[in-house]
Structure 1
Amino acid sequence: MSEKNILAYFKSPEEAEGVARKLNALRALEVSVDRFSRYAGEGYDPMNPVAGKISSLSAITQDAAITNTSAGILTAADPAASGMSHGGQGGPTGHDILLTAVVDESIHHQALRIVEEAGGLT
């Protein structure tokens, strides 16, 4: 039994979860759905920018959880930190949800078809 991997990108967790359910019905060996970002850290606890300490400009404009000064400087240099860039959290494509699947080779083409029909990018 040979295995094939699938990496597919979606715009919303709901789209990816729907595909994950279909792949599990096909008896996929492993399926996971995760959000990714080009910036390190998870979550951000917003505070008053006038009265509170801010780790970086990108912490305000991009909801990035910056953990050190160097990372703050680097992310603030990104064009998106100015608020003048369009593209959302996942960048210009908005596809920041990753579905990862391991399937048997016999269902690989069928699984890819399910992903593409749901709007996933492979």
Structure 2
Amino acid sequence: MAEKNILAYFKSPEEAEQAAQKLSELGVVDLSIDRISRYSGQGTERMMNTLGGELPSLASTVLDADITNRGAGILLAADVSASGMSDGGQDDITGRDILLTVVVEEPKHHQALHIVEQSGGMQ
């Protein structure tokens, strides 16, 4: 039987877990929940002295991003999330950093989409 996938974005892990529980009751082939970010890495693991010059980039401090080189640090520091020069827009996707990935059998696809929407998810 054919399978379909769903990529749904949520504002909190709890919303995604609630949807995952309902989807599991429906019967899924595979399911995972992950936090996503447009910034690479896991952030800095050590304390830095910003006055002593140990600051690789504004983005490493404000966005908790791993900076691989000077150019990447400059580009990431220019992002509205780091610079504070804008609110970043008013789009619906802002704040949805939890990704629920689901694989279901094709006959259950529309029902699974309905569960995701009812749980606050967005495709």
- The residue that corresponds to 1:17 in the other structure is 17
- The residue that corresponds to 1:54 in the other structure is 55
Is 1:107–2:104 an aligned residue pair?
Answer: no
- Provide the aligned C-alpha RMSD in A: 1.9
Q: Take 1:99 and 1:92, find their aligned partners in 2: how far apart are those partners? A: 14
Task: Judge which range, 10-19 or 52-61, deviates more.
Answer: 52-61
Contact 2:80 2:86 in 1 (8 A): yes
Q: Take 1:40 and 1:4, find their aligned partners in 2: how far apart are those partners? A: 29
Deviation of 1:57 after TM superposition, in Å, equals 0.7
Q: Take 2:105 and 2:68, find their aligned partners in 1: how far apart are those partners? A: 41
Structure 2 unmatched ranges of 5 or more: none
Task: Judge which range, 14-23 or 75-84, deviates more.
Answer: 75-84
- The residue that corresponds to 1:29 in the other structure is 29
Structure 1 unmatched ranges of 5 or more: none
Report the TM-score, using the length of structure 1 for normalisation. 0.86
Q: Which amino acid aligns with 1:23?
A: L
- The residue that corresponds to 2:81 in the other structure is 80
Measured against aligned partners, the alpha-carbon deviations of 1:71-99 in whole angstroms (never above 9, x if no partner) come to 11111122222134436xxx961111111
Report the TM-score, using the length of structure 2 for normalisation. 0.85
Q: Take 1:82 and 1:116, find their aligned partners in 2: how far apart are those partners? A: 34
Q: Take 1:81 and 1:38, find their aligned partners in 2: how far apart are those partners? A: 13
Contact 1:61 1:83 in 2 (8 A): no
Deviation of 1:33 after TM superposition, in Å, equals 0.7
> Aligned residues: percent identity?
60
- The residue that corresponds to 1:68 in the other structure is 69
- The residue that corresponds to 1:96 in the other structure is 97
Deviation of 1:108 after TM superposition, in Å, equals 0.7
Moved over 6 A (4+): none
Provide the secondary structure at the position in 1 that maps to 2:117: helix
Q: Take 1:4 and 1:56, find their aligned partners in 2: how far apart are those partners? A: 42
Give the number of aligned pairs: 119
